[in-house]
Amino acid sequence: MGTRIEEAAGLLRQAYGGTTIPPMRDLVGPNDADAAYDIQAFNTRHWLAAGRRVVGRKIGLTAEAVQKQLGVDQPDFGVLFADMQVADGGKLSPAKTIQAKAEGEVALVMGRPLAKPDATPEDVLAAAECAVAAIEIVDSRIADWKITFADTVADNGSSAFFVLGGARKPLQGLDLRTCGMALEVNGKVVSLGAGVAALGHPLNAAAWLARTLAQRGEPLQAGDVVLTGALGPMVTLVPGDRVKVEIGGLGAAGFTFAE
């Protein structure tokens, strides 16, 4: 298994050069979560050794419909590195992606560590410093997005880049469950949703992540960014697109998909 983990991890790293790879079913079973997270962790260690810096986590597969599509009953997570952040209002070069899509999300910024293996949404509320409107730019190193659960987990949660809005809102008094989300591309609304799409509440999603990471001995730290999951359908990007998200109570975030 160790050899297969290293082989799969190497194939995924090579794909960051701009070419996709077939689904990894010959190396890891479609629902083999342990092997998939081992692959993700192998590459995380590789990138840390190369000088990249972890700044948080992303949560994926928070929508029940997507879980059913992939035959799983749980979300997944990936690692956010500092070099994945795109400035609000900035540009992201399409050449840095392969088959990029955008999602509107609620992001949390942790004010203190949360290392409880039984963490609740109330624990997240107490530990989080603020909430921020966010866009996640997801991508897949797997050809044509033909992913299984193991494919997306091994591929760092199909992560690529993220944008955080300029307004940081204290969580007290925010209605993150029913807050509306509108994602626009070139001034046209292309995706709608609400906070309830993220496991019923973004704090539910963040609590799941906190429990999962604590049980793995990798708890959330102060300052960590947590992308809590898509609030509406993801949207395929093409070069030149101007992308903006607005989330009720949190404000807006945006970027241009261009050189």
- Residue 74's pLDDT is what? 87
User: pTM, whole model, 2 decimals?
Assistant: 0.96
Q: Which residues of 166-191 are buried (b: 16+ CB within 10 A; e: fewer)?
A: ebebebeebebeebebbbbbeeeebb
Q: Hey, what domains does the chain have and what are their CATH numbers? A: 2-256 (3.90.850.10)
Residue whose C-alpha is closest to residue 19's, from 167, 140, 199: 140
d(CA 56, CA 109): 9
- Residue 1's pLDDT is what? 56
Low-confidence residues in the chain, pLDDT < 70? 1, 69
Residue whose C-alpha is closest to residue 127's, from 224, 194, 230, 214: 224
- Residue 71's pLDDT is what? 77
Q: What is the pLDDT of residues 126-147, one digit of tens each?
A: 999 999 999 999 999 999 999 9
- Residue 63's pLDDT is what? 85
- Residue 26's pLDDT is what? 84
**Would you give the DSSP letter of residue 172?**
T
